[in-house]
Amino acid sequence: MANEQEIRRDSSLQNRQEKRCTLVGMTSDVCLSLLKIVTGFVGHSSAILADGIHSIGDTVTDVLVYAMVRLSGKGIDERYRYGRGKYETLAAFLISIILVIVALGLLTEGVKDVWAALNGQMLERPHSIALIVAIVAIVVKEGLYHYTRHTGRKTGSKALQAYAWHHRADALSTMATVLGVAGAIFLGEQWRVLDPLAAIGVSVLILILAFKMGRPAILELLEVSLPLEEQDRITAIVTHTPGVLAFHNLRTRRNGNLRVVDMHIKVDGDMNVNHAHDITREIERQLGEELGDVLTNIHVEPYHGRDNCEKNN
């Protein structure tokens, strides 16, 4: 298990990587937003203009993630004895809410445009520059998705992993714009309905992504126990540690990229304190090797012959 000093050092390094990744995304989103909006006016494309306005929301998300990452990076102190990992979890949850709002907005506008097209309304033919900018935006956003996802996995940051899917969602929404603009340019007026139809399909995908991100964040905020598989691994470690005769009151949860494990172990009542302490350190070491960064609270009790090994009560 990583001790408090090691956790602080690792947290500082991870936080620098997270902040750098967020700043890259923030700068890119600002540039893409301005480029899309200007292109929308110059290229006579309402689709790319709307996409640019939508990208402004990405900048708000960037600021949110950056603020949460800075807060979580302060690590463990006297007030936050378990660290500030929940700030990242909260950021992941808020991003999922933003994605839901964006998806519902795309869905509503898509339905309106399809209805208008069915009633004979035709959209203005956009300039080819709008198509080029939209394709560039997709390439940039997809690159940001892979970069942010890699950094999020490397640092164990739920906020960055959620943020990566936000980049992917934006790339998908821009893809709808590409389809609409390309159809309007190359296929004629009757095919301009492809834009709102694609937007409807993308909005459904974004809603699915938002659910996949939001559900784990909600479970962590509610302090749901670690998965049964991880609890079984903890049980196996404790059970097979020499000197442990029984254990009970196993409680687990996540706090950002940390796993928190509390338990009571039973040892020989005549065992000296140093030996009992060595046993707890051995459990902590094995948990760290098996699960990664773990904060443990192990209470030692004397074992009586009538005690049974209790697992999760």
CATH numeric code, 228-303: 3.30.70.1350
**Confidence class for position 57, pLDDT limits 50, 70, 90:** low
DSSP-derived secondary structure for the chain = ---HHHHHHHHHHHHHHHHHHHHHHHHHHHHHHHHHHHHHHHTT-HHHHHHHHHHHHHHHHHHHHHHHHHHHTT---SS-TT-SHHHHHHHHHHHHHHHHHHHHHHHHHHHHHHHHHHTT--PPPPPHHHHHHHHHHHHHHHHHHHHHHHHHHHHT-HHHHHHHHHHHHHHHHHHHHHHHHHHHHHT-GGGTTHHHHHHHHHHHHHHHHHHHHHHHHHHHHTTPPPPHHHHHHHHHHHHTSTT--EEEEEEEEEETTEEEEEEEEEEETT--HHHHHHHHHHHHHHHHHHHSSEEEEEEEEEE-TT----S--
Look at 119 and 76; give whichever has higher pLDDT.
Answer: 119
Whether pLDDT at 87 is above 80: no
**Confidence class for position 56, pLDDT limits 50, 70, 90:** low
Q: Where in the chain is the domain with CATH 1.20.1510.10?
A: 4-221
Q: Which CATH architecture has domain 4-221?
A: Up-down Bundle (1.20)
Weakest mean pLDDT among 54-68, 128-142, 156-170, 277-291: 54-68
Which range has highest mean pLDDT (106-115, 143-152, 219-228)? 143-152
Res 209: pLDDT:
73
**This model's pTM is above 0.75:** no
Res 71: pLDDT:
64
145-170: pLDDT as tens digits:
999 888 888 877 777 777 788 788 88
Q: Where in the chain is the domain with CATH 3.30.70.1350?
A: 228-303
**Confidence class for position 1, pLDDT limits 50, 70, 90:** very low
